[in-house]
Every structure is written in structure tokens, then in C-alpha cells.
Amino acid sequence: MRNFVLRLIVNAVSLVVASELLDGIQIRDDRVTTLLIVALIFGLVNAIIKPILTVLTCPFIIVTLGLFILVLNGGMLLITDELAGNRFEVDGWWAAILGGIIMGVISLILESVLGIREDKDKHKEKRSPQQV
């Protein structure tokens, strides 16, 4: 539960930073509840839809040496735009791709500072079978 709340906060902060840095991304209201709803939708889209699209587009990812992931991240922002209704708006693919890059960098920094990545790695170590 702790990681869920931390990831929600990380998504919210990265959405705010992306919307402040780019004119093409807007969060309609200045309310915290709106921001948390959009962050929750973005987290669900990343958890459910992105893995499916990553598997389906694996050949493109390989051929472009991973750069197609940037397009997928932008697509996740556009899907969030559609699902969030009038709470969140992304103006086109370029804004979405740049926003995805900004959000990825901010998320990486915040997750490392908050120890979310380390918790995930420790959890994997606990679940892996021990060698004899």
C-alpha cells in the first residue's frame, strides 16, 4: 500500500512538472483531487495497457533500438487524456512524447530518492529461489 501511494504521488508530481514545462500539456483544475485522479488514471494505463502494447510492438522497439518506447510513453499520455475527460489535455503527439520524456526523468529521480526502486529490487530478491 505504501508503494501505491508513493507511486501515485510520483505520478502527480511528474504530471505537474510536465504541465509546467510544456505548453501542450494542461491540467484543467488547480485542485489536488483532480491531479490525483489524473495521476491514478495514468498509473492504471501504465500498469494495464502499456505492457500489452510493449509486447505487441516489440519488433519496433528492437528495430529502433528502444526509441519506440518514447512513442509508447507518449501514447500512454494521450490515452490518459482521453480517459480523464476534461480534467487533463495533451495537444498532439509531440507534446505527449516530450511530456513522456519529462515524466520519465522526474519519476526516475523521485523513485530513486524515495527508495521505490530499491524496494522493488529487494522484493524480487526475497522471492527468487536461493541457490544451494
pLDDT band at 106 (very low <50, low <70, confident <90, very high): very high
Helix (H, G, I), strand (E, B) or coil at 73: helix
Q: How many H-runs (helices) and E-runs (strands) does the chain carry?
A: 6, 2
Question: How confident is the model at residue 72, as a pLDDT?
Answer: 94
Question: How confident is the model at residue 131, as a pLDDT?
Answer: 55
What's phi and psi for 2, nearest 5 deg? -60, -45
pLDDT band at 5 (very low <50, low <70, confident <90, very high): confident
| pTM score, whole prediction | 0.81
Type of residue found at 56? L
Spatial separation of the C-alpha atoms in residues 95 and 31, rounded to whole Å: 23
The overall average pLDDT reported for the chain is 86
Work out the average pLDDT over 64-89: 91
Work out the average pLDDT over 37-64: 92
Crossing angle (nearest 10°) for helices 32-56 and 68-83: 140
Question: How confident is the model at residue 117, as a pLDDT?
Answer: 64
Work out the average pLDDT over 4-20: 89
What's phi and psi for 71, nearest 5 deg? -65, -40
Type of residue found at 13? V
